[in-house]
Amino acid sequence: MIEIRNLNKIFGVNPVLRSLDLDVARGEFLALFGPNGSGKSTLLRILAALARPTSGTVRIGGWELPAEAAHVRAQLGVVSHLPLLYETLTAEENLLFFARLYDLPVAERADRVRAMLDRVGLARRAGDVVRTFSRGMQQRLAIARAILHDPAILLLDEPYTGLDQDAAALLDELLREVALAGRTAVMTTHDLRRGHQLASRIAILSRGKIAYDASTDAVSSEALPTLYADVTGAVTNR
Protein backbone atom coordinates (compact mmCIF):
# COMPACT_ATOMS: atom_id res chain seq x y z
CA MET A 1 0.00 0.00 0.00
CA ILE A 2 2.76 2.38 0.99
CA GLU A 3 6.11 1.85 -0.63
CA ILE A 4 9.12 4.04 0.15
CA ARG A 5 12.47 3.52 -1.53
CA ASN A 6 15.70 5.34 -0.78
CA LEU A 7 13.89 8.43 0.48
CA ASN A 8 15.99 11.49 1.28
CA LYS A 9 14.82 14.83 2.59
CA ILE A 10 17.32 17.58 3.14
CA PHE A 11 16.50 20.92 4.74
CA GLY A 12 19.21 23.26 3.56
CA VAL A 13 22.33 21.30 4.36
CA ASN A 14 20.67 19.34 7.13
CA PRO A 15 19.58 15.81 6.17
CA VAL A 16 16.33 14.90 7.95
CA LEU A 17 15.58 11.60 6.23
CA ARG A 18 18.46 9.50 4.98
CA SER A 19 17.95 6.83 2.33
CA LEU A 20 14.93 5.50 4.13
CA ASP A 21 13.10 2.37 2.97
CA LEU A 22 9.73 1.41 4.31
CA ASP A 23 6.77 -0.68 3.23
CA VAL A 24 3.38 -0.72 4.83
CA ALA A 25 1.09 -3.49 3.74
CA ARG A 26 -2.64 -3.28 3.29
CA GLY A 27 -4.54 -3.20 6.56
CA GLU A 28 -1.39 -2.81 8.60
CA PHE A 29 -1.24 -0.25 11.42
CA LEU A 30 2.27 1.07 11.81
CA ALA A 31 3.21 3.06 14.90
CA LEU A 32 6.22 5.25 14.28
CA PHE A 33 8.27 6.26 17.31
CA GLY A 34 11.29 8.48 17.47
CA PRO A 35 12.79 11.39 19.35
CA ASN A 36 12.16 14.97 18.28
CA GLY A 37 13.99 15.75 15.08
CA SER A 38 14.20 12.11 14.05
CA GLY A 39 12.20 12.95 10.94
CA LYS A 40 8.90 11.25 11.71
CA SER A 41 6.76 14.35 11.16
CA THR A 42 8.60 15.07 7.94
CA LEU A 43 8.02 11.52 6.80
CA LEU A 44 4.32 11.86 7.46
CA ARG A 45 4.15 15.18 5.63
CA ILE A 46 5.78 13.57 2.63
CA LEU A 47 3.26 10.72 2.71
CA ALA A 48 0.47 13.29 2.90
CA ALA A 49 1.91 15.00 -0.20
CA LEU A 50 2.38 18.18 1.80
CA ALA A 51 6.16 18.10 1.39
CA ARG A 52 8.17 16.81 -1.50
CA PRO A 53 11.10 14.44 -1.11
CA THR A 54 14.55 15.65 -2.03
CA SER A 55 15.15 12.31 -3.74
CA GLY A 56 13.83 8.77 -3.74
CA THR A 57 10.47 7.30 -4.63
CA VAL A 58 7.26 7.17 -2.66
CA ARG A 59 4.30 5.18 -3.94
CA ILE A 60 0.90 5.04 -2.33
CA GLY A 61 -1.62 2.59 -3.71
CA GLY A 62 0.41 2.43 -6.91
CA TRP A 63 0.45 6.20 -7.42
CA GLU A 64 3.73 8.01 -7.28
CA LEU A 65 4.36 11.09 -5.15
CA PRO A 66 4.60 13.95 -5.73
CA ALA A 67 3.80 13.62 -9.45
CA GLU A 68 0.44 11.92 -8.99
CA ALA A 69 -0.45 13.57 -5.71
CA ALA A 70 -3.96 14.44 -6.88
CA HIS A 71 -4.86 10.74 -7.06
CA VAL A 72 -3.33 10.00 -3.68
CA ARG A 73 -5.10 12.84 -1.88
CA ALA A 74 -8.56 11.42 -2.41
CA GLN A 75 -7.39 8.24 -0.64
CA LEU A 76 -5.86 9.88 2.41
CA GLY A 77 -7.33 10.87 5.72
CA VAL A 78 -5.13 12.88 8.05
CA VAL A 79 -5.47 13.57 11.75
CA SER A 80 -2.83 15.90 13.07
CA HIS A 81 -2.00 17.52 16.39
CA LEU A 82 -3.66 20.63 15.01
CA PRO A 83 -7.43 20.19 14.59
CA LEU A 84 -7.42 21.33 10.92
CA LEU A 85 -10.86 22.84 11.43
CA TYR A 86 -12.45 26.27 11.17
CA GLU A 87 -13.08 27.72 14.61
CA THR A 88 -15.84 30.08 13.59
CA LEU A 89 -17.85 27.49 11.69
CA THR A 90 -20.09 24.96 13.38
CA ALA A 91 -19.20 21.27 13.51
CA GLU A 92 -21.72 20.56 10.82
CA GLU A 93 -20.58 23.40 8.58
CA ASN A 94 -17.00 22.21 8.89
CA LEU A 95 -17.87 18.72 7.76
CA LEU A 96 -20.13 19.97 4.98
CA PHE A 97 -17.35 22.18 3.74
CA PHE A 98 -14.92 19.27 3.51
CA ALA A 99 -17.62 17.04 2.03
CA ARG A 100 -17.82 19.54 -0.83
CA LEU A 101 -14.05 19.68 -1.25
CA TYR A 102 -13.91 15.88 -1.38
CA ASP A 103 -16.72 15.89 -3.91
CA LEU A 104 -19.11 13.64 -2.02
CA PRO A 105 -22.35 13.30 -4.02
CA VAL A 106 -24.75 16.11 -3.22
CA ALA A 107 -27.54 13.75 -2.27
CA GLU A 108 -25.47 11.92 0.33
CA ARG A 109 -23.55 14.81 1.89
CA ALA A 110 -25.98 15.83 4.58
CA ASP A 111 -26.72 12.24 5.65
CA ARG A 112 -23.09 11.29 5.65
CA VAL A 113 -22.14 14.32 7.75
CA ARG A 114 -24.91 13.61 10.24
CA ALA A 115 -23.89 9.98 10.46
CA MET A 116 -20.25 10.92 11.08
CA LEU A 117 -21.19 13.39 13.80
CA ASP A 118 -23.22 10.67 15.40
CA ARG A 119 -20.34 8.20 15.24
CA VAL A 120 -17.93 10.51 17.04
CA GLY A 121 -20.57 11.46 19.57
CA LEU A 122 -21.00 15.07 18.56
CA ALA A 123 -24.53 14.91 17.12
CA ARG A 124 -25.92 17.11 19.88
CA ARG A 125 -23.25 19.76 19.31
CA ALA A 126 -23.58 19.78 15.51
CA GLY A 127 -24.85 23.35 15.42
CA ASP A 128 -22.25 24.76 17.80
CA VAL A 129 -19.23 26.74 16.73
CA VAL A 130 -16.01 24.73 16.96
CA ARG A 131 -14.35 27.42 19.04
CA THR A 132 -16.60 26.45 21.96
CA PHE A 133 -15.41 22.81 21.82
CA SER A 134 -12.90 21.28 24.20
CA ARG A 135 -9.65 19.97 22.79
CA GLY A 136 -10.93 16.42 22.97
CA MET A 137 -14.14 17.29 21.14
CA GLN A 138 -12.16 19.10 18.45
CA GLN A 139 -10.00 16.05 18.00
CA ARG A 140 -13.07 13.84 17.67
CA LEU A 141 -14.43 16.17 15.03
CA ALA A 142 -11.02 16.07 13.34
CA ILE A 143 -11.37 12.29 13.11
CA ALA A 144 -14.81 12.66 11.58
CA ARG A 145 -13.30 15.07 9.06
CA ALA A 146 -10.45 12.69 8.27
CA ILE A 147 -12.65 9.69 7.49
CA LEU A 148 -15.55 11.61 5.98
CA HIS A 149 -14.61 10.55 2.46
CA ASP A 150 -13.87 6.99 3.56
CA PRO A 151 -10.15 7.03 2.75
CA ALA A 152 -8.17 3.83 2.35
CA ILE A 153 -5.21 5.18 4.29
CA LEU A 154 -5.13 7.06 7.56
CA LEU A 155 -2.18 9.18 8.67
CA LEU A 156 -2.08 10.19 12.32
CA ASP A 157 0.46 12.79 13.39
CA GLU A 158 0.75 12.95 17.19
CA PRO A 159 -3.03 12.76 17.60
CA TYR A 160 -2.80 12.70 21.41
CA THR A 161 -1.09 16.06 21.79
CA GLY A 162 -2.90 18.25 24.29
CA LEU A 163 -5.48 15.64 25.32
CA ASP A 164 -6.15 14.74 28.95
CA GLN A 165 -6.40 11.10 30.08
CA ASP A 166 -10.13 10.73 29.49
CA ALA A 167 -10.06 12.39 26.11
CA ALA A 168 -7.09 10.25 25.08
CA ALA A 169 -8.89 7.09 26.15
CA LEU A 170 -11.94 8.16 24.18
CA LEU A 171 -9.74 8.84 21.18
CA ASP A 172 -8.26 5.34 21.50
CA GLU A 173 -11.70 3.89 21.40
CA LEU A 174 -12.72 5.98 18.41
CA LEU A 175 -9.59 5.13 16.52
CA ARG A 176 -10.03 1.43 17.09
CA GLU A 177 -13.73 1.17 16.43
CA VAL A 178 -14.47 3.82 13.87
CA ALA A 179 -11.43 5.33 12.22
CA LEU A 180 -9.20 2.33 11.71
CA ALA A 181 -11.72 -0.37 10.90
CA GLY A 182 -9.12 -2.22 8.88
CA ARG A 183 -7.72 0.79 7.09
CA THR A 184 -4.02 1.03 6.46
CA ALA A 185 -2.65 3.47 8.99
CA VAL A 186 0.57 5.17 10.00
CA MET A 187 0.75 6.98 13.32
CA THR A 188 3.55 8.98 14.85
CA THR A 189 3.46 9.37 18.61
CA HIS A 190 5.58 9.85 21.70
CA ASP A 191 3.27 7.63 23.69
CA LEU A 192 4.97 4.22 23.52
CA ARG A 193 2.27 2.40 25.49
CA ARG A 194 -0.61 3.71 23.37
CA GLY A 195 1.23 3.06 20.14
CA HIS A 196 1.98 -0.49 21.24
CA GLN A 197 -1.63 -1.13 22.18
CA LEU A 198 -3.12 0.12 18.93
CA ALA A 199 -0.63 -0.81 16.27
CA SER A 200 0.07 -4.09 14.56
CA ARG A 201 3.64 -3.10 13.81
CA ILE A 202 6.21 -0.85 15.41
CA ALA A 203 9.05 1.11 13.89
CA ILE A 204 11.53 3.41 15.55
CA LEU A 205 12.98 6.25 13.57
CA SER A 206 16.31 7.66 14.58
CA ARG A 207 18.39 10.28 12.76
CA GLY A 208 16.45 9.92 9.57
CA LYS A 209 16.56 6.13 9.34
CA ILE A 210 14.46 3.21 10.46
CA ALA A 211 16.42 1.87 13.41
CA TYR A 212 13.96 -0.80 14.50
CA ASP A 213 11.06 -2.44 12.72
CA ALA A 214 9.02 -5.41 13.92
CA SER A 215 5.57 -6.71 14.55
CA THR A 216 3.94 -5.61 17.81
CA ASP A 217 4.02 -9.20 19.06
CA ALA A 218 7.80 -9.25 18.88
CA VAL A 219 8.17 -7.00 21.88
CA SER A 220 6.06 -6.65 25.00
CA SER A 221 4.63 -3.36 26.11
CA GLU A 222 6.88 -3.46 29.19
CA ALA A 223 10.05 -4.06 27.22
CA LEU A 224 9.36 -1.35 24.68
CA PRO A 225 10.71 1.67 26.63
CA THR A 226 14.05 -0.09 27.21
CA LEU A 227 14.20 -1.12 23.59
CA TYR A 228 13.37 2.43 22.52
CA ALA A 229 16.13 3.90 24.69
CA ASP A 230 18.58 1.30 23.41
CA VAL A 231 17.76 1.85 19.77
CA THR A 232 17.71 5.63 19.79
CA GLY A 233 20.63 5.86 22.21
CA ALA A 234 22.75 3.34 20.36
CA VAL A 235 22.51 5.20 17.11
CA THR A 236 23.18 8.55 18.74
CA ASN A 237 26.43 7.32 20.31
CA ARG A 238 27.49 5.61 17.16
For other proteins, the binding residues (CB under 8 A) are 1, 11-14, 26-27, 45, 48-52, 54, 61-63, 66, 70-71, 73-76, 78, 80, 82-89, 93, 97-98, 100-105, 108, 111-112, 115, 119, 129, 145, 149-150, 152, 178, 181-184, 236
Q: What is the nearest approach in angstroms of other proteins to the Cβ of residue 145?
A: 7
Of the pair 192, 200, the CB lying nearest other proteins is at: 200
Q: What is the nearest approach in angstroms of other proteins to the Cβ of residue 237?
A: 9
In contact, 50 and 216? CB cutoff 8 Å: no
Q: What is the nearest approach in angstroms of other proteins to the Cβ of residue 139?
A: 12
Of the pair 146, 224, the CB lying nearest other proteins is at: 146
Q: What is the nearest approach in angstroms of other proteins to the Cβ of residue 73?
A: 4
Of the pair 100, 193, the CB lying nearest other proteins is at: 100
Q: 44, 13, 9: which is closest to 203 by C-alpha? A: 44
What is the enclosing helix (H) or strand (E) of 79? strand 76-79
CA distances from 236 to 2, 35, 110, 127, 224 (A): 28, 11, 52, 50, 18
Of the pair 33, 98, the CB lying nearest other proteins is at: 98
Q: What is the nearest approach in angstroms of other proteins to the Cβ of residue 75?
A: 6
Of the pair 40, 145, the CB lying nearest other proteins is at: 145
Q: How far apart are CA 155 and CA 106, in angstroms?
A: 26
Q: What is the nearest approach in angstroms of other proteins to the Cβ of residue 193?
A: 26
Q: How far apart are CA 170 and CA 197, in angstroms?
A: 14
Q: How many CA atoms lie within 13 A of 41 on its CB side?
A: 9
CA distances from 216 to 201, 202, 228, 234, 237 (A): 5, 6, 13, 21, 26
Of the pair 119, 190, the CB lying nearest other proteins is at: 119
